[in-house]
Amino acid sequence: MAGYEYVSPEQLAGFDKYKYSAVDTNPLSLYIMHPFWNTIVKVFPTWLAPNLITFSGFLLVVFNFLLMAYFDPDFYASAPGYKHVPDWVWIVVGILNFIAYTLDGVDGKQARRTNSSTPLGELFDHGLDSWSCVYFVVTVYSIFGRGPSGVSVFVLYLLLWVVLFSFILSHWEKYNTGILFLPWGYDISQVTISFVYIVTAIVGVEACMDPSVAFRYFRVAS
């Protein structure tokens, strides 16, 4: 399909008029994450391309997926009687997930900081985000697994569609309004997921099946 015209001349001309517009009302983002990202972005040299930051964060998400796939290829590692994922893996995945989330938050700031914002950069960023929706949901699934006290694959399938639909819906809204209203769920879920990974390493996957396990652990620890 080398001769197929994917973008018309009229559409290409619209790139010069396009301006990114987004609204973020999430208190977590406004009062915690954005100030944190504003500090982090100053660490990056101005020659560092925003798209490289975007791609690096995406690679971390893929790495987490592959790492968990190695230790839990059939999603039974969290089930009773099966060999569990090592604790250090949960810690690594939790840290890398938060780093990937941070890189996704600073790539746009780096673009504006270096005056290199482009529509194609936004397309690249959000295109990779659409793929990340699949990878991070499947990676989180390993916490619960497919065992008798876990979550069925059908529920995983439904969760994937919920996340993807939310992503598509927000961009469909932007297509019609010209403004991207950032959903609260993304920031809250990423911070929560990173925290849950670390907690899983401390108290074990049993706490996800029975929350009282976690309460007993922290009661003993205190």
Locate the domains of the chain by residue range: 27-35+46-210
- Cβ(130)–Cβ(87) under 8 Å? no
Q: What's the pTM value of the predicted model, to 2 decimals?
A: 0.87
Q: How distant is the alpha carbon of residue 46 from its chain centre?
A: 25
Segment 79-96 shows an average pLDDT of 92
How far is residue 208's CA from residue 78's CA, in Å, rounded to a whole number?
9
Mean pLDDT across the chain, nearest whole number? 87
**Residues 6+ away with beta carbon under 8 Å from 110:** 41, 44, 48, 50, 53
Local confidence band at 215 (pLDDT 50, 70, 90 cut-offs): very low
Local confidence band at 46 (pLDDT 50, 70, 90 cut-offs): very high
Residue 2 has a pLDDT of: 61
Residue 222 has a pLDDT of: 55
Local confidence band at 6 (pLDDT 50, 70, 90 cut-offs): low
Instruction: Say if residue 158's pLDDT is above 50.
Output: yes
Most confident stretch, 53-57, 126-130, 152-156, 179-183: 53-57
Q: Is 126 a catalytic residue?
A: yes
Instruction: Say if residue 111's pLDDT is above 80.
Output: yes
Local confidence band at 210 (pLDDT 50, 70, 90 cut-offs): low
Residue 47 has a pLDDT of: 94
% residues pLDDT > 70 (the chain): 91
Segment 197-212 shows an average pLDDT of 76
- Cβ(164)–Cβ(57) under 8 Å? no
Residue 82 has a pLDDT of: 85
- Least confident range from 12-21, 44-53, 143-152: namely 12-21
Instruction: Say if residue 3's pLDDT is above 90.
Output: no
In CATH terms, the superfamily for domain 27-35+46-210 is CDP-alcohol phosphotransferase transmembrane (TM) domain (1.20.120.1760)
Catalytic one among 34, 84, 126, 171? 126
Residue 214 has a pLDDT of: 46
